[in-house]
Amino acid sequence: MLDFDGVVLESVDVKTRAFEALFLDEGREAADRVVAYHEANGGISRYEKFRWAYREVLRRPLSDAQEKALGDRFNALVEEAVSSAEWVPGAREFIASWSAILPLYVASGTPQEELRRVVERRGLTPSFRGVYGSPRGKAEILRMIAADLACPADRLVMVGDSVNDLEGARTAGARFVGRRRGADPFPPNTPLVEDLRALDEALRHL
């Protein structure tokens, strides 16, 4: 199971810049706090981050209409850029080789319909048995995949780049490999790779 941003595509910075742009009108301090929260909480829905920002930073209510408008603005800022982002080194090759052997899935915090459009635009839809995003969380997605495959969750491996990905895997009972990007956020002894060129070898040692 692959997370998408930061695991398949080098698209994390695109979304960081989008969060900054959305909240810069609220002042530099507010925008910086929202960006820091986003960076510390990869793998969770942008809508959860919007709610946190209004609750903890702006300290005012967020209506359903405002939340939808934020989501629409965010999508307008990121979908095209994500669709044209660089591959994580080794990702395209890993997907091409392993999809011919085992069922692969995407488990992401990106809204599901947007995620599926990006996967389609990158020509990856035939490579995945399923592409799943928010509003489901990672643990729920992994349990759903285990049910789809009729196998115990501990047979699944989640590849992610955030602690939230790791926690979702642990909650579901799946195994985990982390992709290290810059500072290492993972607990000691977490299996890690620099990029997907090393993923084959990491999987053999799980």
**Shared domain check, 113 and 56:** no
Is residue 131 classed as helix, strand or coil in its secondary structure?
strand
For 99, the domain range is: 91-204
Distance CA 84, CA 81 (A): 5
**For position 183, what pLDDT does the model report?**
73
Handedness of CA 131, 37, 161, 6 (dihedral sign): positive
Alpha-helix residue ranges (DSSP H) falling in 53-206:
64-83, 91-98, 112-121, 138-149, 163-172, 199-204
How much is the pTM? 0.86
Q: Which two tokens stand for residue 132?
A: 């799943």
- Whether residue 3 lies inside any domain: the answer is no
**Shared domain check, 76 and 48:** yes
The closest alpha carbon to 135, from 124, 144, 122, belongs to: 144
* Residues whose CB falls within 8 Å of the CB of residue 103, separated by 6 or more in sequence, listed in order: 129, 149
- The tens-digit pLDDT sequence of the chain (206 residues) is 999 999 999 998 999 999 999 999 999 999 999 999 998 887 788 999 999 999 999 999 999 999 999 999 999 899 889 999 999 999 999 999 999 999 999 999 999 999 999 999 999 999 999 999 999 999 999 999 999 999 999 999 999 999 999 999 999 999 999 999 877 789 999 999 999 999 999 998 88
Q: Which two tokens stand for residue 52?
A: 């946190």
Looking at the structure of the chain, the number of domains it has is 2
CA angle, residues 17, 47, 134, in degrees to nearest 5:
105
Q: Tell me if 71 sits within 8 A of 83, measured CB to CB.
A: no
**For position 5, what pLDDT does the model report?**
93
Is residue 108 classed as helix, strand or coil in its secondary structure?
strand
- Whether residue 45 lies inside any domain: the answer is yes
CA 195 → CA 12, 55, 60, 91, distances in Å?
14, 35, 40, 8
**For position 170, what pLDDT does the model report?**
96
The closest alpha carbon to 66, from 53, 82, 85, belongs to: 53
CATH of the domain at 105: 3.40.50.1000
- Whether residue 64 lies inside any domain: the answer is yes
CB atoms within 10 A of CB 173: 15
Handedness of CA 96, 102, 107, 110 (dihedral sign): positive
**Shared domain check, 198 and 99:** yes
**Shared domain check, 102 and 144:** yes
Q: Tell me if 177 sits within 8 A of 196, measured CB to CB.
A: no
